[in-house]
Amino acid sequence: MTNARDIKQQLSDDDFNFVCDYVYQKSGIVLSDSKREMVYRRFTRIIRDRHLTSFSDYCELLKSDPEGEERYFINAVTTNLTSFFREEHHFDYLAQHELPHLIKKGSKRIRIWCSASSTGEEPYSIAMTVKESFKTLLNTWDVKILATDIDSNVLNTGKQGIYEYKGIEDMPEHLVKKYFSRGMGVNSTKVKTTSDIQNLITFKELNLMNDWPMKGPFDVIFCRNVLIYFDKKTQLELFERFHKLLAPNGLLILGHSENLGAFQQYFKSVGRTIFRKLD
């Protein structure tokens, strides 16, 4: 096993600092010294893939072609951990409060943005919640879920909608039956999402640090378990932009360890890390 001293020797302070700065500029992700081992591990894979011999070689490549390498490198450093119905209380709130309320309002149009969608389990969980709440009413409503992420690899997984069966084995049987089809032969350990939920979602590459092409307004914005990688300044800038893009009384849903900090005054807390926009 590589220890902290080996890492320090092989990944020099200059190279590590350069990488931290590059990642911050491109993605807003803050890589502090505690992430050194993680950077080292991901770097090792990159160096192997790129047939290079040292970390410095890769830093030189990043310096000489910062734009060309951006997508590949950012894809390699993002952490994409997610799962179906992660933090289930958020989906319960949608099913029990928000969607019935929106249906009753009768606007016939609902927009939901899942802003760090990773491999797609989160937007598909939203789509299943929507389908279950609307039932046949959905035919007469215009409901769309936008799923975005900075990482093009995870978005491709989301678009394909193919997952290991073990990722859904704890899901209620009726949802598995309705929204997944089981693979055959060599694919028997896999499932694929059905077009019923696929058709509700559009997957698009979007870096939260850049301009957002969408006009909104969104009734619900999910931004879960990504803010933890950003500093306070970036978080506040994002909260302001989410606030602008939300419909009156729209919901902003954050991850379990995230909060609005100084921006709390513009929202009302209505559940565990669920915030309603105040106008």
Ligand X SMILES: C[S@@+](CC[C@H](N)C(=O)[O-])C[C@H]1O[C@@H](n2cnc3c(N)ncnc32)[C@H](O)[C@@H]1O
Nearest Cα residue to 254 out of 151, 120, 116: 116
- Rule CB under 6 A: choose which of 39, 191, 226, 274 binds ligand X: 226
Which residues from 239-268 bind ligand X, rule CB under 6 A? 255
146 binds ligand X (CB under 6 A): no
Q: How far is the CB of 181 from ligand X (least distance, A)?
A: 23
220 binds ligand X (CB under 6 A): no
273 binds ligand X (CB under 6 A): no
Are 162 and 192 in contact by the 8 Å Cβ rule? The answer is yes
- Rule CB under 6 A: choose which of 28, 158, 161, 250 binds ligand X: 28
Q: How far is the CB of 250 from ligand X (least distance, A)?
A: 18
Window of 104-112, 144-152, 182-190, 241-249 that interacts with ligand X by CB under 6 A = 144-152
Q: How far is the CB of 139 from ligand X (least distance, A)?
A: 29
- Rule CB under 6 A: choose which of 19, 20, 23, 29 binds ligand X: 29
90 binds ligand X (CB under 6 A): no
| 149 classed as catalytic | yes
Window of 146-154, 187-195, 238-246, 265-273 that interacts with ligand X by CB under 6 A = 146-154
116 binds ligand X (CB under 6 A): yes
Q: How far is the CB of 117 from ligand X (least distance, A)?
A: 6
Task: Extract the tokens encoding 247.
Answer: 């419909």
Are 152 and 71 in contact by the 8 Å Cβ rule? The answer is yes
Bridge pairing between strands 142-149 and 109-114: parallel
Of 15, 36, 149, 151, which one is the catalytic site residue? Answer: 149
Longest dimension (CA), the chain: 63
80 binds ligand X (CB under 6 A): yes
Q: Given the complex with ligand X, which of 45 and 109 has the nearer CB atom?
A: 45
- Rule CB under 6 A: choose which of 31, 35, 39, 82 binds ligand X: 82
224 binds ligand X (CB under 6 A): yes
Contact residues for ligand X, defined by CB under 6 A:
27-29, 78-82, 86, 116, 118, 122, 149-151, 154, 207-209, 224-226, 229, 255
Residues catalogued as catalytic: 42, 149
